[in-house]
Chain A
Amino acid sequence: MSVGLLDPASPEGKAALAAMLPEATAIEAVVALSGGASSATYRLDTVHKGAAARYVFQRTASTEHAGLSRSVQAAVQQRAALLGVPVAPVIATTDACGPLGDGVITGFVAGEALAPRWLRSPDHEAARSALTGQCADALARLHAAPVDNWADLSLPGGNGVAILEAMFALYRTLGVDVPAFDLAFAWLRPRMPTAPPTCLAHGDFRSGNLLIDQQGLAAVLDWELAHLSVPAEDLGWLCVQAWRFGHWQRPVGGFGNREDLLCAYAHAGTEIGLHELHIWEVYGTLKWGLSCLQLADDHVSGRVPSVERAAIGRRVSEVAADLVYLVAFAEL
C-alpha cells in the first residue's frame, strides 16, 4: 500500500468510502480480496435501510501501476455495459489526489474469479461448456463499436506494426538476448497489420479476468489495459498457453477450442480466420514472455527483490518453448 493513502478498513477509510455510496449506507466490514503488485481489491459489506448490500473497491496501490487511470477505466467499463458486455456496474470513482487514491467502487457480482478453480470444479461444468460462446459474444459486442465511441478518452493503441515495435523496444531496454523471442519478433514483423485500429480491445481478456457463475460468464474484470487495436488481438490473448492452467488441450482459456470460438464470433460479429488468430496468439505469447522478463528484471535489478519475481524469470523458458512450437507447427 502506498504511504499516505487511507486504509479502507480504518474508521476514516470507511467514512470516506461511505460518502461515495447511497445516502445512509453503513459499511459493516471491509474485506481484502486480493493484493496484486499494482492494485488492491476490497469487498465492502454494507447495510442500507436495513438491507445488506455488497460493493467492490479497487484502487491503484503503487506508482508502478502502468494501466489506465481508474476514472478512464470506469468510463470504458460503463460504455462496455451499454454495448451489452457483462461487467460490474460502476458506482463511483475516487479522486487520484484524494485520501483514498485512484480507485473505483463497483457493485458486487457473485461468482468465482480463480480460474484454476472454475476450470476444474465439477460445479462449473455447465458454465465451461457455455463459456466459449459467451466470450465470443461479449468480445463481438465490444468490438462492434466504432473507434469514435472511445475517441474522447484518449486511449493508447496503434496498428499491429506499431505495437509490435513498442514491444521490441521494451525487449531491448531489458538488455537480454532470448533466441526464441527474436525468432518470434522476426516471424511476426512481416505479418502484423498496418491498417489503423478498428475497435477497442479489452487488452487483458483471459481466463484469470473472467468472473464465472453456474451459468458461465458473470462479468469481465480488469479493464485497465484497454486500448485501440483490432479484434483478433483479444481473441489471440485469450488463447495464450499461460491462461490454460494446465488444460493445454483446450486452447481457448483452458475451456474451449479455437474453431468454436471463431465460429461463435463470426455468428455474433465479423469473421476472423485461424491464420489471423494464430498471428495474434504468437503476439500474445511473446507479450506474456516480456511480462516475465520485466518481473524478473524487478528482482535482478534489485528494484523489487522478491522470490516470486525471481521464479517468474525462469518461466521465460516456458514461453520460449511455446513460441518455438507455435512458429514451427502453427498450433499449440
Chain B
Amino acid sequence: MTGHPTTAQLLVAVQLYLKEAEAALSGRLAFHAKVAGNTLGIVLRELEQAPAIAEAAALAPFGGANALCAALRSGEKSPEDAAVQQAIRAAVLARLAVDNPRYSTFLRLAERPIP
C-alpha cells in the first residue's frame, strides 16, 4: 500500500528529524541527538539482518551462548580451541555488522579467518 510507510521508513524519518534537531541544538543535547540517530541506525540494520539467527547458528554446536560461556568457565572448553574461537568470531561478526559495521576491528576480523 503506497502512502503507508514501513517501519524502516518511519525510522528513517525520525533520523532525518534528529539530524535537523542536532544542528539546532548544542552541547549535551546535540550530542544526544547524534547518539539517538546512530541508535536508530542500529535498529534499522537489526530489522534488516536479524543477527540473532546467525549468532544462534554459529554457537549451536556448543549448545548456544549460555552453554558455551558455562563450558569456558568450568574449563570444559579451552579458550585456545580453534573451533571455539571460530564460532565466537562468527557470532561476533553477525552482531557487529548491526551494531557498528564501520568499526575497524569488524573489517579486520571479517577479512581474517581463524585457522
Contacts and interface: CB of A to CB of B under 8 A. Distances in A.
Contact of A179 (B69, B105, B114): B69
A311 B85 contact: no
Contact of B88 (A179, A185, A310, A311): A179
Interface residues of A, number: 32
Nearest to A327: B79
A186 B72 contact: yes
B105 A177 contact: no
A23 to B, nearest CB: 36
A324 B99 contact: no
B39 A182 contact: no
A152 interface: no
B115 to A, nearest CB: 9
Interface of B, helix, strand, loop or mixed by DSSP: helix
Interface in B59-115: 59, 65-66, 68-69, 72-73, 75, 77-80, 84-85, 87-89, 91-93, 95-96, 98-100, 103-106, 108-109, 112, 114
A269 B7 CA distance: 59
Size class of the B contact interface (CB-based, 8 Å): 35 or more
A183 B87 CA distance: 11
Given A179-B91, A307-B32, A318-B105, 19 more contacts: A35-B28, A179-B68, A182-B68, A183-B79, A184-B79, A185-B72, A186-B72, A186-B73, A186-B75, A241-B104, A248-B105, A307-B35, A310-B39, A311-B35, A311-B39, A318-B99, A320-B92, A324-B85, A325-B105
Interface of B: 28, 31-32, 35-36, 38-39, 42, 59, 65-66, 68-69, 72-73, 75, 77-80, 84-85, 87-89, 91-93, 95-96, 98-100, 103-106, 108-109, 112, 114
Query: Which 6 interchain pairs have the tightest Cβ spacing?
Result: A187-B79, A182-B72, A177-B69, A186-B79, A317-B99, A248-B104
